[in-house]
Amino acid sequence: MSAPLPGKPWYRILYIQVLIAVALGIIVGHNWQTIGAAVKWSGIFGRDLAWPDVKDALKPLGDGFVKIVKMMIGPIIFCTVVHGVASMGDLRKLGRVGLKSLIYFEVVSTFALIIGLIVVNVMQPGAGFQYDPAALNTGAVRDYAAKAHAMNTKDFLLNIIPDTFLGAFTSGDLLQVLFVSLLTAFALLGLGGRARPVLNAVDYATQVFFAIMRIVVRTAPVGAFGAMAFTVGSYGIGSLGKLLALMGGFYLTAGLFIVIVLGSIARACGVSIFRLLGYLKDELLLVLGTSSSETALPGLIEKMQRLGCSRSTVGVVVPTGFSFNLDGTNIYMAMAAIFLAQATNTPLDLRQQIGLLLVAMITSKGASGVTGAGFVTLAATLSAMKTIPIESVALLLGIDRFMSECRSITNFIGNSVATIAISRWENEVTPETLRENLRNPPPAIAHSAEESKSGH
């Protein structure tokens, strides 16, 4: 995912390919049945052709790409964390970076929740719905509710421990990978100089995994096309009704949060949020096309290192941020919960809304590694509150895919800013270096064994 070469044809630039694929996906998904009718009429494949459903024909394209990327996330996170932490050589620095990261995550995530609560109370998008939860079709949301009821603190903590060491890489749970990565890193720290050959091997493995990712990401336009076509073809563009008010409010709030809150943090670090977004445009479009911030996680790790952030800090902040720094998910939970309270005529006073905020601060930390994480976390929050009927989340099922795109993009941008902020807090990189690397991005990093010895 290196920067486009000078003079490179526009049609070979990845983010342009993804943009074209997303546009084509919207057109094909919106006109899927019309295309089927035209194909049948033409008789190219026979007049008796059984035109497949959009989810059968196009959903596998998006799902397949996401699965390939997720297949690589575990090894990449393991190598990044192990090398980053073990090469620190200083447990005090590790503890300092970890503590600063958690403080940053909690403060910024709380801001996201508060902003979401304020906006949804001002807009009142759910007022006048007059929906009776008992009349809703809750069958589609039953699995989400079951997962939500299972998300208690004890199970969440026990689930961080995988059944086997290798099981962490097959579970799909980022926290399990982080757990075994930290154990391995601490073990290597205890070995001292004897760990050097292992660290070199981990470094070479990192190069291999990133090389694989650079191959995989070239298929991103295919995955983005399939995912977008399925989304539009399944849920439609014009059939969202009054829920568009909630969607519009959520997108507006997330945009303001990115520009004002994250933009202020970036400015304090000496960089422009808009220049940073331009630097990460390939990854942002990948997130938009697949509705998953995990697909761009390897690219973020590489680009933060190229920006000047140390490998050790990137190895700690990025993986933990994807589990504990979910700004977009927090905005969504606050707005969606109050929206459902308004839609079901469930009055919530200020005390209850503050209680909702506190519960959401806890339940949001359990979103890592759960399919439909934002939706499951919302159900978990309502289940813990026992005020808003949990069955009412069925109202949001049809638009969750559209909301997921905004959640994922906001989470991704939040973690990129967090990495820069912690690196600046640690005085690892200067504002001048950040600005220069944003203006003229350096080539993809290829770490050598000698670089590994220095821990950089």
| CA 307 – CA 433 distance, rounded (Å) | 8
**What's the CA gap between 312 and 87, in Å, rounded?**
7
Helix (H) or strand (E) run with residue 381 in it: helix 373-385
| Lookup: tokens for 163 | 């059944």
CB 366 within 8 A of CB 156: yes
DSSP secondary-structure letter at 47? T
What is the model's pLDDT at position 4?
47
C-beta separation of 220 from 286 below 8 A: yes
* 86, pLDDT greater than 60: yes
Q: Are 177 and 74 in contact (CB under 8 A)?
A: yes
pLDDT (0 to 100) of residue 5: 46
Cβ atoms of 453 and 198 closer than 8 Å: no
pTM exceeding 0.85: no
Candidate ranges 55-64, 103-112, 237-246, 291-300; pick with highest mean pLDDT: 103-112
Which residue type does 437 have? N
Residue 434 predicted with pLDDT over 70 = yes
Which tens digits make up the pLDDT trace of 167-179?
Answer: 888 876 767 887 8
Q: pLDDT tens, 25-73?
A: 888 887 887 787 776 677 666 666 667 776 677 778 877 877 787 788 7
Q: Once rounded to an integer, what is the mean pLDDT over residues 361-384?
A: 61
Q: How far apart are the C-alpha atoms of 336 and 214, rounded to whole Å?
A: 37
Cβ burial 126-155 (10 Å sphere, 16+ → b, else e): beebebebeebebeebeebbebbeebeeee
Q: To the nearest whole percent, how much of the chain has pLDDT over 70?
A: 76
Encoded tokens for 382: 């309502």
Report the alpha-carbon distance of residue 266 to residue 259 in Å, rounded.
Answer: 10
How far lies 98's CA from each of 104, 266, 319, 377, in Å?
10, 20, 11, 24
Task: Encode pLDDT of 379-409 as tens digits.
Answer: 767 766 777 877 777 667 656 667 878 888 9
User: Mean pLDDT, to the nearest integer, of 110-134?
Assistant: 79
Q: What is the pLDDT of residues 214-270, one digit of tens each?
A: 788 788 788 878 877 876 776 565 544 556 778 888 999 999 999 999 999 999 999
Q: Give the whole-angstrom CA distance, residue 250 versus residue 328.
A: 9
State the pLDDT at residue 88. Answer: 67
pLDDT value of position 298 = 84
Question: How many whole angstroms separate alpha carbon 391 and alpha carbon 135?
Answer: 10
Average pLDDT over residues 335-348: 84
Q: Rounded to whole angstroms, how far apart are CA atoms 351 and 230? A: 41
Please state which of the ranges 167-171, 265-269, 417-421, 451-455 shows the lowest mean pLDDT. 451-455
Confidence of residue 134 (pLDDT cuts 50, 70, 90): low
Which ranges of 192-219 does DSSP label H, i.e. alpha helix?
Answer: 196-216
Q: Are 247 and 403 in contact (CB under 8 A)?
A: yes
In 286-443, DSSP assigns E strands to none
Within 8 A by CB and 6+ apart from 76, the residues are 206, 209, 210, 213, 297, 298, 301
Region of 291 (left: φ > 0; alpha: ψ -120 to 50; beta: rest) is left
Between 414 and 59, whose confidence is greater? 414
Q: What is the CATH number of domain 10-454?
A: 1.10.3860.10
- Least confident range of 44-58, 301-315, 413-427: 44-58
Task: Give the burial string for 433-448 (b: 16+ CB within 10 Å, else e).
Answer: ebeebbeebeeeeebe
* CB-count burial class (<10 Å; 0-12, 13-18, 19+) for 425: middle
For the chain, helix, strand, coil in percent to 5 are 80, 0, 20
